[in-house]
Structure 1
Amino acid sequence: MMKRIWPIFVATSLAMSGGANATKLITEAEAQLPPPKGAVATDRRGILRAPKVEFVPPGDAVHSPLRLQLKFESFGGAKIDPESVKMTFLRTPNVDLTARIKPFVQAAGIDMPDTELPPGEYMLRVDVKDSDGRIGTASFVLKIVP
């Protein structure tokens, strides 16, 4: 009996999503979580050899699905460790998005061609480590319009 219901569920969920290849980065339930409490860490100042994470903005008025791109840059001959990349949706409590982005992570960055998010404003943090153990972090806000 479960085998007959399951294929119908898969077909229904694919029809309701933006497409078969789209990746849901943040769910509706996660989008409803309260914002983070307290201060959110920002970029550090000074000369650092830690890896750099650069968010590539998709444009002014962003609709879902969108192309989510981040670029990584390492310094001093070190190499980016793709296995160390973590993405967090800053909410209360924080939501770990790492498993959802893993298929799209490379040493050069993250490239998610069809990323689904509900309309809203989302603060995300990306952490990356290089082969010398230095950690780079970037926080950015995605604003998705209906």
Structure 2
Amino acid sequence: MKLTQILFLTSLMTATSWVSAAPLISAKEAALPAASGALATRGISRGPSVKLVSPEADTPVSSPLDFKVNFEARGEGKIDPSSIKVVYMKSPFVDLTPRLKNSISASGIDFSKADVPSGSHTIRVTAKDTDGRETNTVFTLVVK
């Protein structure tokens, strides 16, 4: 094998074994003051179900983490992926939706290797179905 082939194979193996984390929340955003006011969501809703799958809410995890949320429509409606909004509850609010755009589908959000600074991070996910019914879900990610 020629030296150039060996170097190429070595660099290819190194590149495939190295996986970079993508920023979900920056340190600058994490340093913003917490949003004021009630973060409560409505009670019974006919809107879609929004469930945090990973990481488990309020359970300390390390960064990078896999950020996964499942959506489930109720009744005849279907989830409208263009209606999904993800907001970091800081003052002012930080819209995380553009960072997650390629990870959002009608079935949920699947954002692997999310880089999140240490701390407690409150996030609101809003989803609508094709009938216009809306659900807001608030959860907290805890990163050690």
TM-score, length basis structure 2: 0.81
Q: 1:20 offset after TM fit, Å?
A: 5.4
8 Å CA contact 1:123–1:142 kept in 2: the answer is yes
Match status 1:86 vs 2:102 = no
Match of 1:49 in 2: 46
Distance 2:43 2:69 in 1: 20
Match of 1:14 in 2: none
Amino acid paired to 1:76: G
CA offsets per residue over residues 105-136 of structure 1, 9 Å max, x none? 01110011110001010000000110101111
How many residue pairs align between the two structures?
125
Distance 1:71 1:36 in 2: 25
Distance 1:58 1:98 in 2: 18
Distance 2:20 2:125 in 1: 23
Unaligned runs of 5+ in 1: 1-18
Q: 1:41 offset after TM fit, Å?
A: 2.3
Distance 1:20 1:142 in 2: 22
Amino acid paired to 1:45: G
Secondary structure class of the residue paired with 1:61: coil
Match of 1:3 in 2: none
**Root-mean-square deviation (CA), in Å?**
1.4
Secondary structure class of the residue paired with 1:110: strand
Distance 1:84 1:45 in 2: 20
Distance 1:28 1:69 in 2: 21
Secondary structure class of the residue paired with 1:83: helix
Amino acid paired to 1:140: F
Structure 1 vs Structure 2: percent identity of aligned residues? 42
